[in-house]
Structure 1
Amino acid sequence: MNVRLKLLAAARSSSLLETRFDDDRPLDAAGWHEAERAAPVLCRLAAAELRYCSPSARCRETGDVLGLAPLAQPALRDCDMGRWRGRTLGEVTAAEPQAVDVWLADPGSAPHGGESLLAFVTRIGGWLDTRPAYEGAGLLAVAEPGVVRAALLYALQAPPHSYWRIDVQPLSVTTLIRRSGKWSLRLEG
């Protein structure tokens, strides 16, 4: 049996605009408005037989605004950024420029004391691989953009540096399909 999983990127919040690491801020007013405006198009996602979300406030609220009633999954949390949590890239770069360089160059490093990129992608991949097979409407997960990027990296078996080259927009939908134990990306128009 196949697995069809739609990944819905959470609506935006001020932390997305400020590039804050691993920040659990709720949707801002603009994010609420964008989600409400998108609801007539995205309401079709409620047909999914199982609906999940990252445990962040932003993801839970996106699911609520869209009427999806998703179940929070701790394994879908964003990358653990350790002591960099809640700080902007600019703040961290000013305070620890060499650590940022190491972090960007080596996907196995975690100079912030949290989770390495490789560990994060492996965690998300483990969650993907344990999804039950459902024909029909499939599965849905409302997730942070970083989680969507990690899922794509894992599914496509792309090299780790590709993570930095994937741009996930708020409220975008990505479809992954697992057939015979292998994942593929489906682009829908």
Structure 2
Amino acid sequence: MSATRLLVLGVVRGFGRAHGYLVRAELLRWGAENWANIKWGSLYHALRKLAEEDLLIATEAGTPPGRVDYEITARGEAEFFRLLRLALREPAPRPDMLAAGLALLPALSRSEAIDLLRIRLRALESSRQEIPTGIPPHARELFGLWERTTDGDVAWTRQIISRLESGKYRMASEPGAVFGTAGAWPQVPA
């Protein structure tokens, strides 16, 4: 699973029609270079690959010459939601998928987001491991690190669920929702 794949689909979906520079500019605006593990040189490759997989439609824009605009397809929409749901419900060893899921969280209804985060919470709570016998004392530190990290993830997940339950953030299908609505983001000059 790729955070880049999820983010590219999400940004194209949000704008309705976007070119590579616009996708990159939007992700930079979000600070994605700090949390998404995106290689900017591979962004255009990701756009082309998603178009090859029929998840995006590529159209020559004409101005400037060589510019390609992309739109999400029905298959792309389904893949976007599959990846988004996966990113929110399944704890992953790398934080970039969760970060991408959070960046695109408003694309979901409030109830679905809460349900997915509750699944994540249960998975985190059940992931605690006992320290195996016979392991060298210094290697036991890894289990302490994992336990503290999991404790932090559990606490944070409970907090975001609580914020969502209290009405924080405007989610898809709520009055005035724009961010989670396909093609509803304001267009930015090229």
When normalised by structure 1's length, the TM-score is: 0.26
- Bigger strand fraction: 1
- Higher-RCO chain (CA-CA 8 Å, sequence separation at least 6): 1
